[in-house]
Homo-oligomer: A and B are copies of this chain.
């Protein structure tokens, strides 16, 4: 009853250390020895908790997707939820920049690793569907322009948020601009200065 949690802690420590390593050096630079050292353990001990490097990576995948899912907890009206979601994602990525990198790495790795691909597709699918649902309800409740194809817009939102993940884009101020434009089009932008709401064509 005490050992189990302790063991879980060690595992979590290792996963988190690996997560940080991937963020810092990519999969290319992920070294089990480094991970173990960061936790203050011998490599042999790492292998006690995770039989192979791959097992450790799977742990990281789940950890990363978990971090990400937190932004989807919904409260308020659909339009509010949408706005809040976009904000939550931006905030999360700003406050924990490693997450973006790791997500990018996982994204690329999923092309070669079906296990990762599965987990990620699942998460992205869930995300897409949640967004689509929000959009539909927002339209139905009159908070959003009716000419919107909720499926396509959901896809666009996912794409835009995902792109924020990549270093070249995320390090420039443009990503924020892109999201602002998106919000404006959707009509959920928080009123800034005197910039008018969109006048539909």
Contacts and interface: CB of A to CB of B under 8 A. Distances in A.
Interface of A: 24-29, 101, 104-105, 107-112, 117, 120-121, 124, 128, 145, 147, 149, 151-156, 158-160, 162-164, 166-169, 172, 174-175, 177-178, 180-182, 184-185, 187, 196, 198-199, 201
Nearest to A146: B199
A159 B163 contact: yes
B152 A181 contact: yes
27 contacts: A28-B109, A107-B168, A108-B166, A110-B168, A124-B169, A124-B172, A128-B174, A147-B198, A149-B181, A149-B184, A151-B177, A152-B178, A152-B180, A152-B181, A152-B184, A155-B181, A156-B177, A156-B181, A156-B182, A158-B174, A159-B169, A159-B178, A160-B160, A160-B163, A162-B163, A162-B168, A187-B201
